[in-house]
Amino acid sequence: MSEKMINIKIDGKEVSVPDGITLLEAAKIENVKIPTLCFHEDLCIAGNCRVCVVEVEGWRSLPASCATPVMDGMVVYTNSPKVRRARRDILALLVSEHSTQCTTCYRSTNCELQELASEYNIDNEIYINLLKNKSFTVDRSSWAIEKDESKCIRCQRCVRTCAELQKVNALDVIFKGADMKIATFFDTVMSDVVCTNCGQCINRCPTGALTERRYIDEIWEAIGDPNKHVVVQTAPAVRVALGEMLGYEPGVRVTGKMATALKRLGFDSVLDTDFSADLTIIEEGHELLDRLKRKLVDKEDIPLPMMTSCSPGWIKFIEHMYPDYLGNLSTCKSPQQMFGALAKTYYADKKGIDPKNIVSVSVMPCSAKKYEANRLEMNDSGLQDIDYVCTTRELGHMIRQSGMNFKELPNGKFDPFMGESTGAAVIFGATGGVMEAALRTAYEIVTGREVPFDGLNITPVRGMEGIRDAKIKLENVLPEWSFLEGIELRVAVAHGLTNATKIMEDVSIGESPYHFIEIMACPGGCIGGGGQPIPTNEEIRKKRAQAIYTEDEKMKIRKSHENPEVIQLYKEFLGTPLGEVSHHLLHTKYTRRERV
Amino acid sequence: MRKRESAIKIAVDKYGKERKNLLPVLQEVKQAKNYLTRSDISEIAAEMDLSSAHVYGVASFYHFLDLKVRGQNIIWVCKTISCYMKGSNDILLTLEEALKIKVGETTSDGKFSLLQTNCIGWCHKGPAMLINDQPYTDLTPEKVLQIIDEYYKKS
Amino acid sequence: MAKRKLKRVDLIFSKDCSCRDILAAGLQKPREEIIQTLIASGLKGRGGAGFPTGLKWKMAANEKSNKKYVICNADEGEPGTFKDREILDREPLKVLGGMALCAYVTGAREGFVYLRHEYRFLIPKLEKVLDTFHKWMEELNLDFNVKLFIGAGAYVCGEETSLIESMEGKRGEPRNKPPYPTNEGYLGKPTVVNNVETFVYTMMILRIGAEEFKAMGIEGSSGSKLFSVSGDTPKAGIYELELGMTLDEFVKEFGDGDAKAVQVGGASGFCVPRKRFAETHIGYQGGLTGFSLPTGGSMMIFNSSRSMYNVLHNYLEFFEEESCGQCTPCRVGCQQLLKGIEAVKRGEKSQKYLNDLLRLADTMKITAKCGLGQSVGNSFSSIVENFREEMIY
């Protein structure tokens, strides 16, 4: 953006704004709110809903402020009678093609159309209801995402999300005119297309057209069943975002209140995905070192760089888009699934409960985890390892339903056995976190010393840059790792599948300089996951990430290999990392998929 | 099946894989048999390294990139007011009766599909229609029957 | 201002000129001179939007870019228009000549004729003509190559940014403006998009000079234009007429003696009832008394036997289908206008509902993203306001 300032007049006030910005941005600087629907900070400008129109003196028509650059001397009115009337008409038009059953809509009270329609006092009877004579479908085929055409206002935010942020293109615009709508390839059901279930479209849908498939009722049912022992695990990113569902500003950590709330909801055991995140680091760290050894010492043809496998959206993406590189994926299950496999084996054993009576629930910042839990191979305990996955949003709804005053809850703690965790596990929730946690452990395994970063904070892999990388020189290594002496370990971190694609382009032409790559499907990592509170934008994601790093710094133990429960787990149950039990319960394989 | 796929490869090779060539490729594949199938679209998407949903979205935008199975000959009767004023409705009824199909349908022998379209640019010589790419103007029911007959004879 | 009588002109189809000679002479002139000539002639785009042609060329000429494009918009889809087909059929070299002039002036080396699918039958002929044209280009030493690009059936692609989108392999959805095509057009490069007829006029202006061209027509609407006359007329066809005539004169010449309305400019134009024939001029918005209606040249005459409800219904069905669907006012507005007049006709909505629809049409005019959505209200308002009783009974 140029430094040049120009003068315009907004609602009678002379203001000086940077040249090159839009009218919408100029109004924002002046604290004038212009309503928007198709506009989203994370996406390119569409200019198609036309709700943000304003009046410019001397112009015949009302331009969309999101798509119109400021020009010197412009005289702009954001709230003239002409503007108000036009916005009302446009909103009434949108309402006329929208299923207005707000009372039964999951997004009620968090719907941008509802809010604006109410603000502009839209009378539902102005125009003819266009849904009456149209057929539309509600697609519930996917484990993760529900698509309800009757609530779609064709703003195309989902389409842009799927194309620009994720490069998946599962959703696109089809037909034109009155028939124009958002659909998959030949309107195929969501379960059968390239959709990665990342849920970024849900986070950006202004209405209830795209939502996660909910399992709230099933979870209540399990809780209410006296014969069931219901365990719940919560992912690291949930604790820094759940507050937004319950009246807090973004970036507030509610870990203690969440633990208390979960107990009061009736879960029999409140455990922590952080525990299995630590476990993942042990397994994945050893896997990396093992791959390096086999490559460098045994000269085996081992695929490198190794890539993380915690993000189920990323996994489905690579299965569809780059199936030739599945061998580069770490075979480690995600923390959720490691937890699931252990809950119905190790935990059941320790507690003396028949695994059949255990219902394993996880609370995730993610919609893809719902799909992951239902993958056919995820039943190494002999049963489906994870029974139900709910999002941060669903948990928020359950807590509201229960009538608890969340803000007043005392801080509680996770239960023992698989409830203990470290700072390394907490940072899994932010992009770069898995890498940082892995380096804290792997470096120490190899050299016997802590990573050479101030306060263990490996800042080069932190932040919101799409792709980041770092180098760590391995010197004075322990004798058993002598083959790594002097090697510069090169790592990279990418978040959002468009950035993953950039990484994969290099990998696929054999030009990736890295040993280890962390990839998270969602922008910002799990804190920006498809199951997190709506709205989302970079500012909110940064606040959640900051909260994650604060949580890390407050933890007593900050390295995965020092988690006492994990140490105990290896001693009592698993034996060694990459051992036989681990191999059976904690590792998995991947499937080639069509690109439809 | 194999024959059709190779036709797609030939079209993509002819025009190039860049996205700007998508319309010519779709047209060439469509032109060969009057419509595009699901497998055509996904094949073209794969060849041009585009998403199938996107190629579907593009194809479905255009009236003449037909995504429904059609006959050997497609009759497009103009439905704009100027042709209507000159009796395009009679033309349509004549065709429906002669071919024993309704608008939107294909004859059981697969010879003809009967469709309507917006202004085809022959308003001074209405009613008008296209059969495939060929315009026919100043139509009368008799003339239409004759034209259809010629097509039957040709095939 | 003095009234102009209806006057036939013979420029576009005139046989007494050599296209190659005009072009050869033009290519000898300094670029700036051609631009000035076009600006002085007052030539405005003949597709309907009426942007000054000289200015458009100047803007593209001033852009610094390694690549520029010239596109001839032959996606003639406006109901009631058929002049571009006729030109391409009878005078294709004049069109290509105009494109070559534009290429010379702007520095473009590639050009396209975006031909609508419905005119595919012209392809063999045009390809032959292109061979001749490319030989000329070699002889005249101008590095300019023209290809045909065939549309696939979408009215909205007549809008220049939609046309460009579709040439880039996308859905033909209009872009946000700015940037305009002369800055960022096809493949992001400066691009001039002109109508078929406009290109021919650039050639003709070089031939007869700016002054002679400007001497025709009226202030703000210079020269002559092709009109596609259809409907209730004994003389349906193509006519080149001087701009500025009144509808009264037009109907006297072309009507069947019983004209009750003329739809000027096709479905996206205006319906003029008999009582306003005398005060309505044909030309771009200028300082005339009465109305002046810009047009791409479609003139549809309706006599008193016609139901204007049917006419409007036909137009609205057309728009409901041909809207690209991306912006709310056009996508939903077109459906509401159509369903609305049906509901009033059936008595499901009171006649007062027509006022709500007129207001909606006004909103569409000022809020839709492109010319298509903005002009749906033209025919709607002018028909409903002038033939209200026909909408109800």
Verify that B14 and B36 share a domain, yes or no. yes
Is the distance from CB of A22 to CB of A68 less than 8 angstroms? yes
> What pLDDT sits at residue B3?
53
* Strand C110-115 to C69-74 pairing: parallel
The ipTM assigned to this model is: 0.95
Q: Which residue of B has its CA nearest to C80?
A: B123
> What pLDDT sits at residue B7?
86
> What pLDDT sits at residue C66?
96
Contact C314 B84 (CB under 8 A): yes
Does residue B19 lie in a domain region?
yes
CATH topology of domain A216-275+336-408: Rossmann fold (3.40.50)
Residues in A closer than 8 angstroms to C176, CB to CB, are 45, 47, 64, 67-68
Verify that B31 and B99 share a domain, yes or no. no
Verify that B90 and B34 share a domain, yes or no. no
Tell me the DSSP string of A191-245: GGSS-----HHHHH-SSSSEEEPP-HHHHHHHHH-TT-EEEEEE-TTTTTTHHHH
Of B61, B118, B130, the CB nearest to C318: B118
Tell me the DSSP string of A360-408: EEEEES-SHHHHHHT-TT--TTSS-S--EEEEHHHHHHHHHHHT--GGG
Is the distance from CB of A520 to CB of A334 less than 8 angstroms? no
CATH topology of domain C217-303: Ubiquitin-like (UB roll) (3.10.20)
* Strand C110-115 to C237-242 pairing: unpaired
> What pLDDT sits at residue A2?
53
* Number of domains making up chain B: 2
Verify that B27 and B100 share a domain, yes or no. no
Check which CATH number belongs to the domain holding B36 and give it: 1.10.10
Q: Is B49 on the interface with A (CB under 8 A)?
A: no
Q: Which of B19, B39, B61 is the last residue of a domain?
A: B61
Cis before B127 (ω within 30): yes
Verify that B46 and B77 share a domain, yes or no. no
Is the distance from CB of A93 to CB of C328 less than 8 angstroms? yes
Give all chains having 3 or more CB-to-CB distances under 8 Å with chain C.
A, B
Taking the C-alpha atoms of residue C260 and residue C256, their distance in angstroms, rounded to an integer, is 10
Verify that B82 and B138 share a domain, yes or no. yes
Is the distance from CB of C295 to CB of C197 less than 8 angstroms? no
CATH topology of domain A281-332+423-586: Fe-only Hydrogenase (Larger Subunit); Chain L, domain 3 (3.40.950)
Q: Is A130 exposed, middle or buried (0-12, 13-18, 19+ CB in 10 A)?
A: middle
Q: Is A135 a catalytic residue?
A: no
Does residue B66 lie in a domain region?
no
**From the CA of A26, how many Å to the nearest CA of chain C?**
17
> What pLDDT sits at residue C2?
46
Q: Which residues contact A355 (CB under 8 A, 6 or more apart)?
A: A344, A345, A348, A381, A382, A383
C-alpha pair distances (Å), A297 with each of A439, A516, B8 = 21, 18, 48
Q: Which residue of B has its CA nearest to A596?
A: B52
Query: Which one of the listed residues A115, A119, A300, A377 is annotated catalytic?
Result: A377
> What pLDDT sits at residue C3?
52
> What pLDDT sits at residue B1?
47
> What pLDDT sits at residue A153?
97
Domain limits, chain C: 19-214, 217-303, 308-392
Contact A176 C339 (CB under 8 A): no
Of C156, C320, C332, the CB nearest to A94: C332
Among candidate residues A348, A297, A422, A371, the one with its CA nearest the CA of residue A585: A348
- Residue-by-residue pLDDT tens, chain C, 393 positions: 445 578 999 999 999 889 999 999 999 999 999 999 999 999 999 998 889 999 999 999 999 999 999 999 999 999 999 999 999 999 999 999 999 999 999 999 999 999 999 999 999 999 999 999 999 999 999 999 999 999 999 999 999 999 999 999 999 999 999 999 999 999 999 999 999 999 999 999 999 999 999 999 988 889 999 999 999 999 999 999 999 999 999 999 999 999 999 999 999 999 999 999 999 989 886 544 557 777 789 999 999 999 999 999 999 999 999 999 999 999 999 999 999 999 999 999 999 999 999 999 999 999 999 999 999 999 999 999 999 999 999
Q: Which residues contact C382 (CB under 8 A, 6 or more apart)?
A: C270, C271, C272
Domain limits, chain A: 5-79, 125-212, 216-275+336-408, 281-332+423-586
Q: Is A198 a catalytic residue?
A: no
pLDDT tens by residue, C78-135: 999 999 999 999 999 999 999 999 999 999 999 999 999 999 999 999 999 999 999 9
Contact B53 A176 (CB under 8 A): no
Contact B23 C238 (CB under 8 A): no
> What pLDDT sits at residue C17?
83
Contact B80 C120 (CB under 8 A): no
> What pLDDT sits at residue C5?
76
Verify that B79 and B126 share a domain, yes or no. yes
Boundaries of domain holding B44: 2-61
Is the distance from CB of C261 to CB of C386 less than 8 angstroms? yes
pLDDT at B115 over 80: yes
Mutate to test the interface with B, among A159, A166, A171, A173 (most CBs of B within 10 A): A173
Contact B53 A193 (CB under 8 A): yes
Contact A596 B42 (CB under 8 A): yes
Tokens representing residue C39 in the block: 């600006």
Among candidate residues A93, A213, A219, the one with its CA nearest the CA of residue A153: A93
Residues in B closer than 8 angstroms to C158, CB to CB, are none
Query: Which one of the listed residues A284, A394, A518, A551 is annotated catalytic?
Result: A284
Architecture of the CATH domain C19-214: 3-Layer(aba) Sandwich (3.40)
Low-confidence ranges of chain A (pLDDT < 70): 1-2
Verify that B140 and B86 share a domain, yes or no. yes
Computed over every residue of chain B, the mean pLDDT equals 94
Computed over every residue of chain C, the mean pLDDT equals 95
Verify that B97 and B124 share a domain, yes or no. yes
Architecture of the CATH domain A125-212: 2-Layer Sandwich (3.30)
Tokens representing residue C317 in the block: 């069905």
**CATH class for the domain made up of C308-392:** mainly alpha
Among candidate residues C166, C156, C18, the one with its CA nearest the CA of residue C93: C18
Q: Is A436 a catalytic residue?
A: no
Q: Which of 3.40.50.300, 3.40.1190.20, 3.10.20.740, 3.20.20.70 is the CATH number of A5-79?
A: 3.10.20.740
